[in-house]
Amino acid sequence: MKNNLNNAAKHAATKTVSNTKELITDFGERSVHDQNFSKIVALPKVALANCGDVSRVNVKLVQENGIKYLKLTPVRKGGRKN
């Protein structure tokens, strides 16, 4: 598994936003697949591995200044959000 994480990390572009402490990792374009009545987007393992031991995420649609995006927040065991 460690080898897979290293390969995925090589293909992820990382940049630091100026004047902030925010670190953004871009995992590139991802296709949206139909699965019955749901839509599925696959993430590289490294995306969740960097957040720790995560098996659930909170998904929010954020709309600010005309820009819409999905925000994924890891849900820690015990119900705590990070």
Q: Read off the pTM.
A: 0.56
Please report, for the chain, the start and end positions of each structural domain, with discontinuous segments joined by +: 1-50, 53-82
Query: b vs e for 35-74, b when ≥16 Cβ sit within 10 Å of the residue's Cβ?
Result: eeeeeeeeebebbebeeeebeebeeeeeeeeeeeeeeeeb
Name the maximum alpha-carbon separation found in the chain: 44
pLDDT in tens, the chain (82 residues): 445 444 444 555 555 556 667 777 778 888 999 999 999 988 888 777 777 777 888 899 999 999 998 888 888 776 554 4
- 25 with 12: CB under 8 angstroms? yes
* CB neighbour list of residue 71: distance below 8 Å, 6 or more residues apart: 59, 60, 61, 62
